[in-house]
Structure 1
Amino acid sequence: MGFHPITLKTIYADYNAHYGNKGGAIYRHVSDQYVPFYVQILQGRDSNHVLDGLLYHGTNLNIYEHSTDTAGYTEQMFALTYLLGFKFKPRIKNAEQQQLYYWESIEVGNVKFKKINQSLIIDNYKEILRLIDSIKSEKVRSSLILQKLGSYSRDNSVSKALKELGRILKTMYLLEYFSDKELRKEVQQMLNKGESINSVARIIHFGKNGRINETTIEEQLEKASSLNILLSVLIVWNSRYLEKVYKNVKDKDWFDEELFKKVSPLGTTHVNFLGEYTFKEEKIVSEDGLRPLKIED
């Protein structure tokens, strides 16, 4: 996700304390092959928009798992992604301090597991399935449903039941996360790819100091989508040349294929973002020292 200052007055800009001004967040979904396949202008917290990119991307990608940082994580998200057929792998800040849950209150070593409310899940399970069907059939966008659930989560039994179910799934994930070094490494690598894409996006989006001057959500999305296209062009260009390099050096004694697999297609040092200015010595001014006028006869 990248934050971009918005200079004009618009309802689609929120104040960001970290940057000290108003702006909009471009939330970009990135595949494990560095392809940016979905983009949104965020309104509200990140977690409300996670499912939109997984469900409505309109590509031929077969997405089965997703990683976010803490901003994209909620206990409800564990439940929703599971019921929709995705594996949710967030990197949760201070994960070791998270409360763990079980069917009963138990203590394993010095770790306490709180009791889950099973009856709440059972009583609301049919409503949860109806909610999942509405999201999957696109009767209503997932981000809208999550915003609604978040606005009255204290009183809504379905929202509470999703949270209870998510707590069990979160516990199962964290136990695996704590014990599996390769899983932690995999999650970090997936998030690093997203951060790398965002870094390149900031390099490309240098015009007008990287600011968004559009006032409507449609215009802002057009700019964000155009940026995605340029990122894809760069990735395809670099990938074509990396393929050519591979074909030319793969049989060399010094070539390390495992190391080559780690080369990112996001290099920019060979890209001239400012263009070239050529000054020819041909005469372009008249005898009076001015350029000739472009007047049609």
Structure 2
Amino acid sequence: MLLRLVVRLIGAGVTLAGTALLTFILIHAVPGDVARVIAGSKASPEVLQAIHTRLHLDEPVWRRLGWHLSDLAHGDLGRSYVTEQSVAEAILIRLPATAALAGLAVTFWMLIAIPLGALTARHPGGWVDRSVLVLSTLSLSLPAFWLARMCQYWFSYKLGWFPVAGFRGFGHLLLPAATLALLFVGYYARLIHTHMAEVLNSHYVRAARAKGASEGMTLFRHGLRNAMIPVVTVLGMDVAGLLGGVMFVENVFALPGIGTLAVQSVFNLDVPVIMGTVMFSAVIVVGANLVVDLLYGWMDPRIRSA
């Protein structure tokens, strides 16, 4: 188990280094001049040159790449070209909104998906099972930005049940979190259904029933716990998809989160902020997969003994 963790940590370091390198290359492949974004379209050549000199934009790309990688290795995300604010500070200021949105969305979809998956596994072929299948197909097909716009239009503009945009309290998170949860709840309900149906037909569950175990104990103690092992693995891999959904939902509902910061930085060609938000997201994704590895070992004794 320890060797497995060490190998994963080395792999995580390589992944983060590769992410930083690829992000830097892609940013500099995009046409545009951040100096013109800062100074405006009518700025004189002298002003533009002064900005280029101040931000070291005239230096060779390979040298700037070396500076960025060195700063990242020391935990320094740099300062924004546009606002001159520390990138780490900008991310930390917006982290509570993003964490609250993601956490509430995961809570919503798990509170719905787990009972639905267990119910449909226990009673396959019924109307609930067919409804979950349709919901799963829709959740995989609908784009996040379109679903967010539709939910905002109907539940905020038309019905007035929720605030349209902004972040001034818990009530402003309910609709964005529910929208984000809708993107995943059908898929996870179906995933739990599939694995739980397989577990309920296994020999050890049949043996538990033969020994007189109640249906509830069989369903939750034996069925749900074992069915959740592959679900936890998929959940770890879905962190990247969750962050992508958060970015779209934050921008539609004007939430002051990291996703909104990332989109604004792309429009401003703000290289340090783009690098900072991408690397922060990469650390979250890699860290989540490491945690899933540990949870997998705790839930499955076969992994611990490997």
TM-score band, normalised by the shorter chain? under 0.3
Normalising by structure 2, report the TM-score: 0.22
Higher relative contact order (CA 8 A, sep 6+): 2
Normalising by structure 1, report the TM-score: 0.22
Larger radius of gyration: 1
Quick check: which one's strand share is greater? 1
Quick check: which one's helix share is greater? 2
